[in-house]
Structure 1
Amino acid sequence: MTLRAIILTFLITATVFSCKQEQSSEVIQNTSETNEFSLPEWAISANLYELNTRQFSQEGNFQAIIDELPRLKSMGVDIIWLMPVQPISMKNRKAKGDLMVEDIDDPEERKKYLGSPYAVGDYLKINPDYGDPSKFKELVKKAHAQDMYLIIDWVPNHTGWDNPWITDHPEWYTKDDDGNIIDPIDYNTGKSWGWTDVADLNFDNQEMRQAMIDAMKFWLTEYDIDGFRVDVAHGVPQDFFDSLTPALTDVKDDIFLLAESNVESHRNNKTYHATYGWEFHHLMNEIARGEKPVKEIQHWYEKDKSRYKEGFHIHFTSNHDENTWAGTVFERMGDGHKALAVLAATLEGMPLVYNGQEEPLRKRLEFFVKDPIDWKDYAYTEFYKGLFDLKDDNKALWNGKHGSDPVFEYIDDKSIVFSRAKDDNKVIVILNLSKDAHAIPFSFNDKAFSEMNGKQLLTDEEGMIKMDPWSYLIYTK
């Protein structure tokens, strides 16, 4: 969004909310010449596994996660991202659609609806459905013992409606002209996002900012977590993050910070290591549907590279939002879901896998009720383990400046060949991202390369690589 558009949106909606503004996508220069913010050594070649505690197991608690740590470790998981672990507000809790739990008369029916974990009832407490503080500490310690790291989801943009901040400090919230606290506003439209189960925080209030920083520091000191995935980071002012990040790294200097945003300043100001790869994800969905040609990948990459000067993206074929609201990888990507997972894991940035993809997950997990993953076969475990090991074993694929940029060797409407090289390591990825068999004019005869799955490089008499629909080859040396 341009600065002019932001100003116009502000003028239109100023009577509804205070001066809190969405961050412009324009680059904001780093405000600190001495900022030593850098990627922790343990995250240089790391991957990310998003875990929904409620739906991860029948029990829906921390103990069930502890029991599965050895399996996750054997799959190659490096960082576990837990969706919010705090209590969930009861007031204005959503049931389904626009129906609130408070509007349901049957008490047994009301019990079914557990609410959104992003409607945080208390920043400093643990959701009792998941366990108690001692059990969460045990989870963190046992993850560390397995040489894995744990970050938690943090929701700074809004709170649940019965969060103690509302009672104790109503001035910390955004209000309309009548003095009523409001739910968050989409600054592109000036209208509500529809997140009526949460109350919008006012970042013009300096006391609230400090309380937020203190709350996040608490989780570092009390539980020794390894960082945060920050929800709706695009709705929070950049100057808050300029203060937040040094405050957190003063407490623990090797944390990992991920922003759910496409805001350049989050990385360019060195306040986050990584941002969400939403734009690339949507492009992959469009390619899977046949709506965009594969050559758009190079266009996206070149534009993205010009915007971001620091850090990297998180890339994924699924996450909690996509699975619940847009569909499973099978619904959105069909037969292309594996090839697109290869692309997401190798083009640039850090790969993310959502819990259940290794089963695989063939249903949309409900968001407001208990709907556990039906674990049976773990049939895709070896596939994702192969991608995780590929990244770990090849420095060309490592994260950010520790890896290398892709070189586009060949690209057309249906296929792509790219390489990444770092020191004496090189990876070549060949993908047919279409529903048709396709021949690619690319070949090499270097016997030093080995293919990830031991496949032969098949070429015709003209030296064309013959690729089946939605197929891939990965060569490394």
Structure 2
Amino acid sequence: MKRIILILISVFLMSSVPANAAVKKDKRLWQDESIYSIMVDRFNDGDTSINFDVNTKDPNVYNGGDFQGIIDKLDYIHDMGFTAIRLNPIFDNADKGYHGFWVKDFYKTDEHFGSIKTFQKLVNEAHKRKMKVLIDFPANNVAANHMWVTDPNKQDWFHKKQDIQDWNNAQEIENGWADGLPDLNQDNPEVKNYLIKAAKWWIQKTDIDGYSLPEVNMVPVSFWHDFSTSVKGVKQNFFLMGIPAVKSPSNELEYEKAGIDSFYNGPVSADLRDAFANTDQSIQPVVSELDKGKKTFDTSANMANYFDNEYTTRFTQDIVKNRQFPGSRWKTALTYLYTIPGIPVIYYGTEIALNGGDIPDNRRQMSFRAEKDLIDFITKIGELRNQLPSLTRGNLEVLYEKNGMVIYKREYKGETSVIAINNTKKSQSITLKEKQLDAGKELRGLLNGDTVKSEGDRYTIILDRDNSEIYVLADKTGMNIPFVSAIMIVIILACLFLFLIIRRSKRNMN
């Protein structure tokens, strides 16, 4: 009897969940991914045996994070819905090079992070969870004390030492020494061959899935053409994500032709921060930048959208400066980030609203003892993004936008998602008409469970302030017969069960 009741309760719960009008995704594409970006040294300390020269109180030196620490937290990352991780450079670095950009040896892992064997385990464990792994490949410069710098036979491996005065001058950007680091001359065939050979070696040795390319616009496009052709010949669907220095280059299309699959979308990031750090801000600049991206970058669906990263101040700082509550601001902001075209890249610590100013304050140690409210929200919205192809592949059409209230739809192969975001100080009621959505259907809310049925040819969406909803357009539901039947059967069997219990009790008493 107990088993029967449990089965029927399960039917009852399953019947109460509305079926989504979901379309099956074809082969998994990079635009379907969501990336969790990690600074290895600041994430999690999993192997204390390699904690030499570590000082957790000094943000300018190693703090103890390592490969094993990431392995230990892969389930944590995966459970939030992330399908890929991105790591800062992991190669052997000069003293205090916790960030990975003072490379001394392209063929060794940094001893503070762990062995190459441990990194191979990290990639393997990620792949078991169907997660992809990208690592930074810094091809622009090396450490100031790299052995090449003093090698008389390698003086032509570097550009002449000079600071960059004009960041709008492409030649200065490609030849200048950024942050005083020796700038590699990629036009030298020996340099080019060395870097490409090393990049191929890591793919063959560890089976990584892609490179993120810091300071991509400080390296000649011609180099990236040869680099791309070579590394993509090693592994199918290998991904290259460019991270521009200072600002995005004006000739992004040239990089795309050279084989760069994606760019960190700096202009969109700046507009996102302006729009969501406070309420009552227009979202139109972000929409305009997205439209602009379609015209300048053919694979705009692969553009990497983000709020902050290891080079910027934390978005939480913007929120705090505006005297807003970080949890609410982040929820609203992430709803938008997860539902617009492009790949969302989330900097570690976002899920706990980690704060931080300029470098190195924006690279604080991760904490796993925080409230789970924002983590649960990211998990839910990540699940929806993974389930609905329209959120990763659909076109985008704005249905309403005014001073922080925005409604837009995304359509893909008959699936229509409608995203409503109220980034204002007041509750909002917006009516959509038949020209915007098909009449005679209903909008089923998947974030908060709100349902909006059409009234004639109109849909009226009501949202509280600082609230969002992701709807799927579906046929109207009448009375849910299985749902009602399950309830009735459960009630009848429960009564029968109680009757038998009482009857048995009386017999025992007699």
Query: TM-score category by the smaller chain?
Result: 0.7 to 0.9
Cα contact 2:176–2:183 (8 A) shared by 1: no
Please report how far the alpha carbon of residue 299 of structure 1 lies from its aligned counterpart in structure 2 after TM superposition.
2.3
Three-state SS of the structure 2 residue aligned to 1:50 is: strand
Cα contact 2:216–2:242 (8 A) shared by 1: yes
Which stretch of structure 1 is more off in the superposition, 45-54 or 379-388?
379-388
C-alpha separation in 1, matches of 2:68 and 2:459: 55
Three-state SS of the structure 2 residue aligned to 1:155 is: coil
Which structure 2 residues correspond to residues 173-252 of structure 1 after superposition, within 5 A?
173-175=158-160, 181-182=161-162, 186-188=166-168, 195-252=178-235
The 1:357–1:378 alpha-carbon spacing in structure 2 relative to 1, beyond 3 Å, is farther
The 1:287–1:193 alpha-carbon spacing in structure 2 relative to 1, beyond 3 Å, is farther
Please report how far the alpha carbon of residue 455 of structure 1 lies from its aligned counterpart in structure 2 after TM superposition.
2.9
Three-state SS of the structure 1 residue aligned to 2:106 is: coil
Of 442, 454, 472 in structure 2, the residue corresponding to residue 447 of structure 1 is 442
Three-state SS of the structure 2 residue aligned to 1:234 is: helix
Alignment of 1:346 onto 2:339: yes
Cα contact 1:396–1:427 (8 A) shared by 2: yes
Please report how far the alpha carbon of residue 270 of structure 1 lies from its aligned counterpart in structure 2 after TM superposition.
5.7
Higher relative contact order (CA 8 A, sep 6+): 1
Query: Counterpart in 1 of 2:79?
Result: 74
Can you give the 5+ residue segments of structure 1 that lack an aligned partner in the other structure? 1-38, 91-112, 176-180
Cα contact 1:62–1:131 (8 A) shared by 2: yes
Name the aligned partner's letter for residue 210 of structure 1.
Answer: N
Of 147, 158, 165 in structure 1, the residue corresponding to residue 130 of structure 2 is 147
C-alpha separation in 2, matches of 1:71 and 1:439: 37
Please report how far the alpha carbon of residue 288 of structure 1 lies from its aligned counterpart in structure 2 after TM superposition.
3.1
C-alpha separation in 2, matches of 1:464 and 1:458: 8
C-alpha separation in 2, matches of 1:151 and 1:283: 26
Please report how far the alpha carbon of residue 292 of structure 1 lies from its aligned counterpart in structure 2 after TM superposition.
5.9
What do the CA deviations read for 1:379-404 (whole angstroms, capped 9, x no partner)?
A: 22221122221221111122xxxx12
C-alpha separation in 2, matches of 1:87 and 1:332: 38
Cα contact 1:259–1:266 (8 A) shared by 2: no
Cα contact 1:267–1:310 (8 A) shared by 2: no
Cα contact 1:288–1:332 (8 A) shared by 2: no
Cα contact 2:305–2:343 (8 A) shared by 1: yes
Please report how far the alpha carbon of residue 216 of structure 1 lies from its aligned counterpart in structure 2 after TM superposition.
0.8
The 1:458–1:279 alpha-carbon spacing in structure 2 relative to 1, beyond 3 Å, is farther
Richer in helix (by share): 2
The 1:385–1:364 alpha-carbon spacing in structure 2 relative to 1, beyond 3 Å, is farther
The 1:289–1:82 alpha-carbon spacing in structure 2 relative to 1, beyond 3 Å, is closer
Query: Counterpart in 2 of 1:297?
Result: 286
What do the CA deviations read for 1:238-262 (whole angstroms, capped 9, x no partner)?
A: 1111111111111112212111133
The 1:171–1:405 alpha-carbon spacing in structure 2 relative to 1, beyond 3 Å, is same
Name the aligned partner's letter for residue 234 of structure 2.
Answer: V
Cα contact 1:327–1:364 (8 A) shared by 2: no
Which structure 2 residues correspond to residues 323-342 of structure 1 after superposition, within 5 A?
323=313, 328=317, 330-331=319-320, 334-335=324-325, 336-342=329-335
Query: Counterpart in 2 of 1:274?
Result: 262
The 1:265–1:166 alpha-carbon spacing in structure 2 relative to 1, beyond 3 Å, is farther
Name the aligned partner's letter for residue 307 of structure 1.
Answer: T
What do the CA deviations read for 1:143-175 (whole angstroms, capped 9, x no partner)?
A: 112221111011112221122332342211111
C-alpha separation in 1, matches of 2:308 and 2:362: 20
The 1:63–1:229 alpha-carbon spacing in structure 2 relative to 1, beyond 3 Å, is same
Which structure 2 residues correspond to residues 33-432 of structure 1 after superposition, within 5 A?
41=28, 43-58=30-45, 59-90=64-95, 114=97, 116-168=99-151, 169-175=154-160, 181-182=161-162, 186-188=166-168, 195-261=178-244, 262-263=248-249, 264-265=252-253, 268-269=256-257, 271-288=259-276, 293-311=282-300, 312-323=302-313, 328=317, 330-331=319-320, 334-335=324-325, 336-363=329-356, 367=360, 371-377=364-370, 379=372, 380-398=374-392, 403-432=393-422
The 1:40–1:278 alpha-carbon spacing in structure 2 relative to 1, beyond 3 Å, is farther
TM-align CA RMSD: 3.1
Cα contact 1:414–1:434 (8 A) shared by 2: yes
Please report how far the alpha carbon of residue 114 of structure 1 lies from its aligned counterpart in structure 2 after TM superposition.
4.8
Cα contact 1:184–1:200 (8 A) shared by 2: no
Cα contact 1:452–1:476 (8 A) shared by 2: no
Name the aligned partner's letter for residue 391 of structure 1.
Answer: R
C-alpha separation in 2, matches of 1:344 and 1:131: 33
Which stretch of structure 1 is more off in the superposition, 382-391 or 225-234?
382-391
The 1:67–1:216 alpha-carbon spacing in structure 2 relative to 1, beyond 3 Å, is same
C-alpha separation in 2, matches of 1:40 and 1:235: 34
The 1:266–1:64 alpha-carbon spacing in structure 2 relative to 1, beyond 3 Å, is farther
C-alpha separation in 2, matches of 1:186 and 1:220: 36
State the identity %.
20
Cα contact 2:452–2:460 (8 A) shared by 1: no
Cα contact 2:431–2:460 (8 A) shared by 1: yes
Please report how far the alpha carbon of residue 430 of structure 1 lies from its aligned counterpart in structure 2 after TM superposition.
0.9
Name the aligned partner's letter for residue 187 of structure 1.
Answer: W
Query: Counterpart in 2 of 1:100?
Result: none
The 1:316–1:424 alpha-carbon spacing in structure 2 relative to 1, beyond 3 Å, is same
Runs of 4+ in 1 over 6 A off after TM superposition: 191-194
